[in-house]
Amino acid sequence: MTAENHIVVMGYGNQARAWCANLVDSGWTVHVLLRHDSSSRDKIKAPLKLVDWQAPMQGHPIAMLVPDHEIAGALASMSAFIPVGTVIYYAHGFAMTESSLNKAFPQFHHVLLAPKAIGTEVRATYVDRRALGGVYSVEAVDLSERARIEALTLKTARALGITWGPYAVGVKQEMEADLFSEQAVLCSVIPEACRLSFNMLIEKGIPPELAYFELWHEVGLIVRTMVDKGPEAFFHLISPNALIGAEKGRQLLCDEHFTRNMKSLLTDIESGAFAKEAAGVDVEKLRAETVARWQQDAFGRTIDRMQKDRP
């Protein structure tokens, strides 16, 4: 095993656990760096190796897989223990961009390595040998070291399970695309449109089990078909009524007002307004409020019940 087959993963959340498991299965030695008071310390079992907080590092690449708003502070408290020239990986471009990490810590090589999936899917695609897409950027690395570190990054990506790409992008580009996709479609419109539609059907006497299948279970099946087959095949596969209804829904729902609000989301991301807004949000309070809202909603309760009934 060479030194390049070692990596330090900071954090042990959803994304970090997937990285650790995939890299271990690829034959890498994975060191997990956690704070002294971390509740995850007891979860680190062999072959993972627990690294003491603020202990001298050995120069292995470090994957910063803690929440974006914690990264700059963590680097500041650790920087004296990290050798000059260490490669620091980031799974998103947000912290790199908003905290100007390459300027704040010029002694390190800052690299974007972003699998395009949540942690559970990063792991599942590896186990199931499905395609996992990803992007990377070494634009913040000095030209004299760029080729070497790009080769190391691509090697790490392959060990992580990225088989689709990874494609070279700009760090700011990744940040903007990632935030916009979450705000405009993935984490807003999809779940909320499903919830509103479910409740409308329930009010009309539709059994909740039927509404669940139509507005939650089938979402995954439809999206998987869209992704696997592409739009041309997808619109040939759906029924005539689905095709006619899709066009009616597009015209009624995706109007100028919808488009204007989407553009507003993107403008706030590009201008930095969203980053300033996010800095003032109590994330754990918001998460708890969001979960509580879904738990109190008929749709959320039905989802929970149907998942328990699932064979």
The set of catalytic residues is 92
3-class SS of residue 83: coil
Instruction: Give the C-alpha separation, 18 to 151, whole Å.
Output: 22
For residue 246, the one-letter residue type is A
| 129 φ/ψ angles, rounded to the nearest 5 degrees | 60, 40
Nearest to 299 by CA among 188, 201, 222: 201
Residue type, position 189, single letter: V
Contact 98, 272 (CB under 8 A): yes
Please work out, in degrees rounded to the nearest 5, the angle formed at the alpha carbon of residue 114 by the alpha carbons of 111 and 118: 150
Cα–Cα distance list, 281 to 143, 153, 284 (Å): 38, 33, 9
